[in-house]
Chains A and B, each alone.
Chain A
């Protein structure tokens, strides 16, 4: 009440979540199915995952497909928010994409970072060439 009078805005209660960092070495030896399974199990545990490196485009598409298959079958799961950043920030998306694909094919593009969060926690990932902003649900 006193805060309201002073014009201070409350942030509201943010639902419980954790941020988990996963080095690429943890998924390097896994096949595509196992990688996606691991990523989804971390995300389903209300974690925002920061993955060193990136998935191949095919794995990204499969991740989206598997996510869709889980909506409606896992209670309160509404999907994921996903963003990948790579390169020095001066390249175009396609430039990053090309080097990303080339690197991913041989093993992960370590310069890249993949952020994946459950949609129940991450409302939006606002992205431009220089930064990614995570907007959380309250």
Chain B
């Protein structure tokens, strides 16, 4: 009997010591050019020293789902491990002619448009696999965009916890109050992924919401 108690005791001690932390699948969703990759890069660089993907002024720069596994985020002495999933921006229309404005050749613009449409499809497919989603919204744009509403509606329907990030608060046109007014039931964190402003509040919210996972 005593041997059995001892064996169970040591088993528990060892398993808690060597138990792998649960990896939370953290998705970044939103319309194109909202700053999903910029934010994912900022987090990855802070905690792994490496970036996730390239960023550009040209919309639909991210056209494939990108991952970074085992990203350990530390905040106020607490640690959590995430699988970061950066998704292509979701749009309802893609016109290759819009890319021509950026001095792109017609052939490249058409290729980019084709890849972008496939990226949107891929993003939608991945919705089912998320544990927690950060919806990145450009704070200088109108939040009443159907893409934002459709993404959040799908997350609510799937019972996936959501954090709304109002990005680009460094810009004059940014209006966080408008975003808060549109989504009052959600935590809205205003940040600048480009300059790293207010990321402390972002990490605090992520840790808080992660408890629901």
Give chain A's interface residues, CB within 8 Å of chain B: 56-58, 60-62, 64-65, 67-69, 71-72, 78-84, 92-95, 97-98, 100-101, 119, 125-129
Contact = CB atoms under 8 A, between A and B. Distances in A.
B121 A69 contact: yes
A80 to B, nearest CB: 5
Given A64-B120, A65-B121, A71 B94 contact: yes
Contact of A69 (B90, B117, B156): B117
Q: What are the nearest 3 A-B pairs in CB distance? A: A79-B93, A57-B153, A119-B93
B157 interface: yes
Interface string B103-146: 00000000001100110110011010000000000000011111
Contacts of A69: 117, 121
B48 interface: no
Interface of B: 90-95, 113-114, 117-118, 120-121, 124-125, 127, 142-147, 149-150, 152-154, 156-157, 181-186
Contacts of A67: 92-93
A72 B92 contact: no
B117 A92 contact: no
B120 A81 contact: no
Given A58-B157, A65-B124, A72-B113, A93 B149 contact: yes
B104 to A, nearest CB: 16
Q: Most A CB atoms within 10 A — which of B93, B143, B154, B186?
A: B93
Contacts of B149: 84, 93, 97
Nearest to B116: A68
Contacts of A79: 91-95
A79 B143 CA distance: 20
A129 B179 CA distance: 12
Contacts of A125: 146
A81 B124 CA distance: 17
5 contacts: A60-B150, A64-B150, A78-B94, A127-B142, A127-B146
B93 A129 contact: no
A94 B143 CA distance: 12
A94 B186 contact: yes
B156 A81 contact: no
B150 A61 contact: yes
A58 B95 CA distance: 24
A78 B109 CA distance: 13
Contacts of A92: 181-185
A57 B92 CA distance: 14
B117 A72 contact: yes
Contacts of B92: 64, 67, 79-82, 119
Contacts of B124: 61-62, 64-65
Given A92-B185, A94-B184, A129 B117 contact: no
Nearest to A98: B156
Nearest to B147: A64
Contacts of A129: 144, 182
Nearest to A96: B149
A57 B150 contact: yes
